[in-house]
Structure 1
């Protein structure tokens, strides 16, 4: 069984990561080494390397390998940086493997994050829009990678703090389950 997972891990990197313009070999190496199946519910282990979001706790999901690898690459993680992984156990493990100091945050209220002055924040789940509390927790030059979604498809976004404020750039179309508490507000329609 372990060799099946090792083969699936290699296949994931070759078919879902590298083929989607993720060229950072440090990410390839980390993703080939991390047993993704150990981070999900035991009865979901067989789905760990599928091209799907996989439940790791009730109403919490690991991003698809394509999304998490593209988001990580856009964040340009560097060893020694301080990171916050919000509902992101797999991304946290990848960042730790790359030499970052990672604080994991997977509480009920994800908008009230601990601490501040993070060089990097990553979220494995979609939100309607990144909350101000997440943006305020970025250090100067800090980056936030998150998927924002109001309809069936989301957009991965990269936020960066500069001296004159926080800028936002859309990266790519992305699919991810919306995190509980970050669902779009129901609107009135005729």
Structure 2
């Protein structure tokens, strides 16, 4: 990380990303826009891709995963309507970038990923940046994080074949779940809101493409299974 450009050196790139890619596409939540101006996305990508960190595209990270396009990160977070006192669960920590953005908007973020390599790297970056209201762990995100539930917001950063029941059960009253659902190539981004003890309202946002959400209540890690 010693070769990373400074926060100040990249501020103009973040400002341009927010104005062109985020606000320019109709997202106007100032708390979200300010958070994306603050979080240095280049710290969450490999050194040889840092020159593309603020591009309008997803980028590869370790273990065959991706860091999502900035607009998609913003779209999901905006749909979740995160408040300053909210407790947030992210399923699919990945690079740690989305968790970092949400941490600037909420009381606490809990993030889980099945790939230890990604969890350890994200933990190091988040600690270096001083983002101390994020707790991360390795595990099966399709089962959520029951020990830390309930959550006001759950954001799943990988595509599931259906909405995992465990995630619904971990939503607080009035809680919001944002999750891509569909096949392994194309999904629909859904917003699910808990409106009663056993009642949920679902709305469809837009088509998206995410890596598969693998786990007991998602896709199998073995393609032949």
Note if 1:90 corresponds to 2:132.
Answer: no
Conserved? CA contact 1:53–1:62, under 8 Å = yes
Of 171, 183, 190, the residue aligned with 2:205 is: 171
- Give me the whole-angstrom Cα distance separating, in 1, the residues matched to 2:76 and 2:22: 11
List, as ranges, runs of 4+ consecutive aligned residues in structure 1 with deviation greater than 6 Å. Answer: none
Conserved? CA contact 1:61–1:124, under 8 Å = no
Of 102, 126, 146, the residue aligned with 2:179 is: 146
Of 144, 153, 163, the residue aligned with 1:113 is: 144
- Give me the whole-angstrom Cα distance separating, in 1, the residues matched to 2:163 and 2:45: 25
Cα deviations by residue, 1:10-62 (Å, 9 ceiling, x for unpaired): 22111111122111011111101100111223333233222222233313322
Cα deviations by residue, 1:124-167 (Å, 9 ceiling, x for unpaired): 22222221111111111111111223264322110111114122
- Give me the whole-angstrom Cα distance separating, in 2, the residues matched to 1:5 and 1:130: 38
Task: Looking at secondary structure, tell me which structure has more strand per residue.
Answer: 1
CA RMSD of aligned residues (A): 2.4
- Give me the whole-angstrom Cα distance separating, in 2, the residues matched to 1:55 and 1:100: 29
- Give me the whole-angstrom Cα distance separating, in 2, the residues matched to 1:148 and 1:81: 24
The TM-score with structure 2 as length reference comes to 0.74
- Give me the whole-angstrom Cα distance separating, in 2, the residues matched to 1:168 and 1:156: 10
Q: Which residue of 1 aligns with 2:30?
A: 25
Provide closer, same or farther for how the CA distance between residues 44 and 149 of structure 1 changes in structure 2, counting only shifts above 3 A: farther
Runs of 5+ consecutive residues of structure 2 not aligned to the other structure: 116-139
Note if 1:12 corresponds to 2:14.
Answer: no
Of 148, 160, 164, the residue aligned with 1:131 is: 164
Conserved? CA contact 1:156–1:170, under 8 Å = yes
Matches for 1:48-127 after TM superposition, within 5 Å:
48-88=53-93, 89-108=96-115, 109-115=140-146, 116-127=149-160
- Give me the whole-angstrom Cα distance separating, in 2, the residues matched to 1:17 and 1:154: 21
Note if 1:155 corresponds to 2:170.
Answer: no
Runs of 5+ consecutive residues of structure 1 not aligned to the other structure: none
